[in-house]
Amino acid sequence: MSFYDKFTFKNGVELKNKLAMSPMTTYSGNKDGTISDQELTYYSERSKEVGMIITGTTFMQENGQGFENQFYAGNDDYIPSLERLSKAIKQHGAKAILQIFHAGRMSKPGLKENQDIVSASNIPAERENAPIPRELKDEEIQEIIKSFYEVTIRAIKAGFDGVEIHGANTYLIQQFFSPHSNRRIDKWGGNTFKRLKFPLKVVDSVIQAKNDMKKDDFIIGYRFSPEERENPGITLEDTKILVDKLCEKELDYLHISLGKYNQTSIREENNKITGKEILKVINGRVPLIGVGSIFSEEDLEKAEEIGYDLIAIGRGLLIEPKVITTLKNEKEIQKIIDKNNTTLPDNLLEKITKHQKSYGITIK
């Protein structure tokens, strides 16, 4: 199984294997935005076997928060908190990647008093009781881009091995690229290439921070969702343009966001595996991380056949921190969590317990 083998990025950084922990929100930070002790234990336990941990996403601007009890990285006062997290992950030899984002219109209402929910345009998400966001002004957009630069500096100072730019899952970066959420007719929208401007400026900002810190071995990744269900919405053809542009940047990896590693289109009736279509566009220029419903060695073998360079495991690691040992010995991870024998933070366990069907996990 080649995913158990070491992997070296183009910047020379070596992973002990090609398996990563997928970024998943814990809902378990402290009220002041710092990392909680329960989160440190959670990440430390899951860093013992995989080669790389991508953290649940952090936010840098007050109006960028997406979830309750999300940890914060908006100023230098939070560097010590971030450093605790990077050390907890790295102590077992895994590389620590901090995922960074702005929630945009997907910010949960009620998180803050007088909450300011913003987006590319004043178009609400297609979900029940979705708030109408305020359209961002040009100077605000520039400030958000700057915040990605600043948080990258903090990540480096806090000892992280890299950052992952969260351009997926309907959050602000994707909102600027999407024809559903971006109805602007200025330099930030109006056609596919103008909608690309914000995501690419964010990438440039993060790369600039790495270069200014003279940190050549710092890993930069970018996560994207290949399609949207909305009409108008992001199509696979749109994403191929995005991916091609991203491959021209100094990125160390791309990370496709999928519910299942061998998923086909959610917009069209065909049997083309989305990951394969993206790999054709990449054409070996940048490593691609695949993800989605990896619970067995058979799943890993099938993912390997698709051609992914690395694989991220999400729910499998919620269930079983020693995921490689389990896959090698038992061949399959059972989708059951013993609530009395788990290192999941309390809030995350409560969330999974309430939504067992959507997580696809049974709590006993």
pLDDT for 1:
56
Q: What is the DSSP string of 178-190?
A: -TTT----STT-S
The parts of the chain modelled with pLDDT lower than 70 are 1
CATH code of the domain containing 77: 3.20.20.70
Peptide bond before residue 232 is cis, with ω within 30 degrees of 0: yes
Catalytic residue among 171, 261, 308, 359: 171
pLDDT for 114:
82
If one counts the domains in the chain, the total is 1
How many residues are recorded in the chain? Answer: 364
Query: Cβ–Cβ contacts within 10 Å for residue 234, how many?
Result: 25
Q: How far apart are CA 71 and CA 300, in angstroms?
A: 32
Number of helices (H), then strands (E), in the chain? 13, 15
pLDDT for 135:
99
CA 241 to chain CA centroid, Å, is 20
pLDDT for 58:
99
Expressed as residue numbers, the domain containing 265 is 2-363
Active site residue 42: no
For the chain, what is the largest distance between any 2 Cα atoms, rounded to a whole number of angstroms?
A: 57
pLDDT digits (tens, 9 = 90+) for 26-64: 999 999 999 999 999 999 999 999 999 999 999 999 999
Q: Do 287 and 251 contact (CB within 8 A), yes or no? A: no
Q: Do 317 and 21 contact (CB within 8 A), yes or no? A: yes
pLDDT digits (tens, 9 = 90+) for 246-283: 999 999 999 999 999 999 999 999 999 999 999 999 99
Q: What is the pTM of this model?
A: 0.98
